[in-house]
Chains A and B, each alone.
Chain A
Amino acid sequence: MNLRLTNKQINIIEKANPFLIVSTIVAFTFGLYFSLLQSPPDYIQGDSMRIMYIHVPSAWFALMAYTILAGSSVLWFITRNPIFSIIARSIAQIGMIFTLISLVTGSIWGKPTWGVWWVWDARLTSMLLLFFLYLAYIFLWKSITNKDLASKISAALAIVGFVNIPIIKFSVDWWNTLHQPATISKLSSPSIDISMMIPLFIMTLATFLFLVTVFFIRLRIEILDNKILRIREVK
């Protein structure tokens, strides 16, 4: 496996690390201030809707991470450039963690809103299945010892999973309308007030900065792994 990241680019990734950590912490401080203190409680849900400021960004990035995972797998198939395989692998674990966070916070938010910890709502069920798609990808990668082969195989699985997501979404939506009246599962207000947009925006930015920080660290781990592997091969 040869790497086509130049040393200069790797250097930038390394140098960016402290800067990213600091800006993540600053963004989260502002985000927490706005989401817990500066924003008004919702007139229907009261303060419980403050969970939205961590739940919604996690859910967005969980979906975005899978898009990146599948997109870089496709690009890997077209260009055969190993950097795309490394990107896919680096984003997978982060995406899985954010899926888990959005499930757990959604469930905690659900208790005061719906009265139960879990509803078999279409969105929740799709997220649960997304979690297992991530899990399958990561486990498959780990269980194949020949890493060159593993990256080829797991790229194929990522694309199959991505093709399957709209089918799962469609069938789960259909199943949900069949088994449940839609009224309990829908949240009350689809339009968000501007006073809630500000904390949501800052928290999204903060979560994004965090994601980039960890993503860069994971990129460096993969690059170093490759280096170690190559040195051992030469010996």
Chain B
Amino acid sequence: MLALLKRDLYLALYSSSSFFYTSSFFVLVLIILPFLFGTNNVQLQVLFKGIIWIGLSLSILLTMERIFNADYEDGNLDIIIQRYPSLETIIISKYITHWLVYCLPLFIILPILSFLFYVSLDNFFLIFLNLFFGSLGMVFIVTFVSALTLGAKRTIFLKAIIVIPLFVPFLIFGTNLESWPILLALSMMSFVLSIYVSAYGLRLYVE
């Protein structure tokens, strides 16, 4: 599993994006805010809590084709599955890679962002917790959807239509500061669902 993880991480960081790109993306999504809504402190603070979730959703959603599609199309997925007999190992390794590459940068720059948007220290920790548990669940969801849609035509819009209704509970509870235990529960539920459904999808396409 470690070897697989290393390979995936190497490929993701080497070929397409680095920590720098992803964190720049988050900063830029949030920089739009004052341009759109003016520089009112109180308003910005409220909007920040929402837009940061849009940034996270976009970053997870737009990159979901990198989870399985690239490996599936050049045939590497077959080789990986032959080498690692349990599909669950592969899927968990994909979770970790996707989270590390496309979510972790957000948490690294979150302190700076909250400083820019006047978030108090207490709120910062709550936002951090919410985003952490929410991003886990969203990665689980995106993984099983991408396993299911491997054979579909490559349209990110179809995948967005499937994924966004599944994101809605996370977004609803994510923007409320005290609800991180609910997000944790949702993430655990989506983990169980995701393991089964991703394995089912992969098995269908590889056989």
Contact = CB atoms under 8 A, between A and B. Distances in A.
The answer to whether any beta carbons of A and B sit under 8 Å apart in the complex is yes
Interface stretch (A54-62, A91-99, A166-174): A166-174
Contact of A144 (B151, B168, B193): B151
Interface in A67-82: none
A167 B190 CA distance: 11
B151 A149 contact: yes
B151 A152 contact: no
A146 B189 CA distance: 31
Interface residues of A, number: 28
A164 B189 CA distance: 10
A156 B148 contact: yes
Contact of A143 (B144, B155, B168, B204): B155
A152 B172 contact: no
B166 interface: yes
B201 A136 contact: no
Interface residues of B, number: 26
Nearest to B170: A171
B197 interface: yes
Nearest to A178: B176
Interface string A122-163: 000000010011011001100111100100110011001101
Given A135-B161, A139-B161, A167-B186, A156 B200 contact: yes
B172 A157 contact: no
Interface centre among B172, B176, B197 (most CB of A within 10 A): B172
A60 to B, nearest CB: 21
A175 interface: yes
B97 interface: no
Contacts of B161: 132, 135-136, 139
Contact of B169 (A135, A139, A167): A167
B172 A144 contact: no
B158 A171 contact: no
Contacts of B162: 136, 140, 157
A129 B201 contact: no
Interface in B153-207: 153, 155, 158, 161-162, 164-166, 168-169, 172-173, 176, 186, 189, 193, 197, 200-201, 204-205
A136 B168 CA distance: 15
Nearest to B163: A136
A143 B176 CA distance: 37
B149 interface: yes
A136 B149 contact: no
Interface in A164-192: 164, 167-168, 170-172, 174-175, 178
Contact of A152 (B169, B173, B204): B204
Contacts of B166: 160, 164
B1 interface: no
A149 B205 CA distance: 8
Given A140-B158, A163-B193, A132 B148 contact: no
A201 B200 CA distance: 43
Interface in B123-167: 144, 148-149, 151-153, 155, 158, 161-162, 164-166
Given A139-B161, A167-B189, 4 more contacts: A156-B197, A156-B200, A160-B144, A174-B173
Interface of A: 129, 132-133, 135-136, 139-140, 143-146, 149, 152-153, 156-157, 160-161, 163-164, 167-168, 170-172, 174-175, 178
29 contacts: A136-B158, A139-B158, A140-B148, A140-B158, A143-B149, A143-B153, A144-B151, A144-B152, A145-B151, A146-B151, A149-B151, A149-B204, A149-B205, A153-B151, A156-B148, A156-B197, A160-B144, A160-B166, A164-B166, A164-B169, A167-B169, A167-B189, A168-B165, A168-B168, A171-B168, A171-B169, A171-B173, A172-B168, A174-B172
